[in-house]
A and B are shown apart, each in its own frame.
Chain A
Amino acid sequence: MTRMTRMTRTMTRKRERALFGVLVALGLLVLFPVLYTVCNSFMSPEEVEAVYGGGQATFRLFPHTFSLAAYYDVFLASPNYLFKFWTSLLLCAAITIGQVFVSIFGGLAFSKFHFPGGRVLFCLLLLFMLLPTQVTLLPNYLILDRLHLLNTWWALLLPAVFSPFGTFLMAIVFQNVPRVLIESAYLDGAGVWSVLFRVMAPAAKPGWVAVAVLTFVDAWNLVEQPMVFLSDPKQYPLSIFLATVSEQNFSLQFVCGILSLLPVSLLFLFWSEELSEGIAFSGLK
């Protein structure tokens, strides 16, 4: 009898290893485009030209000669890329911070307070969450024109800061924070703001971290809005700038790819745990 269970146990152990192997292979396949970019970023510009330029491209995962020349060209030789990089980063950081605060306030209002019309307004918010960008792009253009914000980065910043998704996510996350926690803080004589920032915000950390990361990724990836709201391509943030520059500066395209992967990957590295916890939370009502 015990031999039987031991045998089935080793069987399941073996099957689990096989399953793990299959899933790891799948994971590597999923990560392949990024791995390819990372490996090829250490190619010298001349080798990139030879492998991918001039007629037929060939597959080469590992460069024949290791070189940092492309990194030098992008990061040090000229300020062009880095200037775009830092200004775009600033824009995305501003959008993210704005959205996080708006979402925390809004989420708290809709989850822990009752006010006339609250439920109806929350449902309306969900409705606007379903709007694809393209539906509101044209009227937004006209409204931003009225506000004299076209052709400035405010046109990219303001609509993104007030995206309703963050409020929705925070409302769900705050709903799971027990009322007792707030009431005991009130009894200890804490004011509204200190309850919000000392009790609620820490308790809902995965929620607002997820909002921050998702907002940043979206902002770092803006394509439609800059092309519509900004008439001068010189003003385009890095997301479009790189797509246009890779055609001209062919040999530097992999390092440019790294440049655009860098901030989002660092965010992922530090906060992936909170991100997936926050996403998981948002689905559990």
Chain B
Amino acid sequence: MGFFLALPILCGVAVFYAAPLCVTVWFSFTFGAGGSTFVGLSNYSAVLQNPRFLLAAGNTAKFLGLALPAVLLLSLFLSLLLRRLTFGSRFLKLAFLYPMMVPAASSVMVLDIFLSDTGIFNDILLHLGLPMQEWLQSGWAFWILILLYLWKNTGYSMILLSAGLQMIPDELYSAASLDGAGAWQKLRCITLPLLLPSLFFAFVISLLNAFKCFREAFLLGGDHPDDSIYLLQHFMNNNFQNLNYPRLAVAAVVVFAVIFAVTGTLYGLWQRAQKRGDSLD
């Protein structure tokens, strides 16, 4: 019965996720139409030396390295603040969650009005007598993309962390207060360790959503945006259009391997932390 119920999702995932992954891996080791000749690792060495790939990989790493800690810190901070409110926190949470719903087309439209060469920000700079900036065709683009990501994804993590905070029993805090623990000590010794599962889950979700940020980057900058926001997704997208399948496949396998390695490592660390906590009990 259980297997029967799982059949639709298993078949669907097999056809539209598992089979494509296998095809991608196969393509990354072959060359020619439809992957006719096996060439071993030569595609990998070619791609790993390609300057565009290195640029894209570097940018993506920089983006993830900044955006993920930022989104976790910001949402942790917000959920800690919201917990202190005795009124209005429900409404505020919804306000922070709402950007998640906004379609890329709408958010990009507003961004364009403010940040294009003839946009509102440049108008303000003009009136202040300051030099105008090419916001979307310069290094600024990277930071704008980071802010856009934070705007869109902080709410989701905040909901996850708020739920995690609610599960921590109040007695722990009052006991700690009796022992003379300060706010910082309580955060470090009670809140953070007990929030670890929620933090891990928020991390995974934020990582998944970070790759969806390409929609905004693409609608904002097109196929060939400023070098500062040339991401791995652009690299893959452009190689798809050039029909350079082996190159695309290598990039895809590398992306997947890195995501898998990072979440796997964090999961391992979390499990170890949990075991250590259990043995302390």
Interface residues of chain A, those whose CB is within 8 Å of chain B, are 16, 19-20, 23-24, 27-28, 30-31, 33-34, 36-37, 52, 55-59, 101-103, 105-106, 108-110, 112-116, 118, 121, 124-125, 127-143, 158-159, 161-162, 164, 167, 192, 217-218, 220-221, 223-224, 228, 238-240, 242-243, 246, 253-254, 256-257, 260-261, 264-265, 267-268, 272, 275-276, 279-285
Contacts and interface: CB of A to CB of B under 8 A. Distances in A.
B16 A158 contact: yes
Chain B's interface size range is 35 or more
A76 B87 CA distance: 43
Contact of B8 (A16, A102, A243): A102
Contacts of B164: 283-284
Given A33-B107, A103-B9, A162-B13, A57 B93 contact: no
Nearest to A161: B12
Contacts of A253: 109
Interface stretch (B41-49, B136-144, B174-182, B212-220): B212-220
Nearest to B26: A139
Contacts, number: 283
B151 interface: yes
B103 A272 contact: no
A262 B18 CA distance: 35
B85 A37 contact: no
A112 B1 CA distance: 10
B113 interface: yes
B261 to A, nearest CB: 11
Given A221-B103, A239-B103, A105 B92 contact: no
Contacts of B93: 276
B236 A137 contact: yes
Interface string B249-265: 10011011001100100
B273 to A, nearest CB: 15
Given A106-B8, A106-B9, A243-B108, A56 B118 contact: yes
Contact of B104 (A28, A108, A239): A239
A202 B5 CA distance: 18
A57 B109 CA distance: 14
A105 B8 contact: yes
B8 A130 contact: no
A9 B3 CA distance: 59
The 8 closest A-B pairs by CB, nearest first: A113-B2, A162-B12, A280-B163, A139-B20, A106-B9, A109-B6, A139-B23, A132-B211
B225 interface: no
B156 to A, nearest CB: 6
B152 to A, nearest CB: 10
Contacts of A240: 105
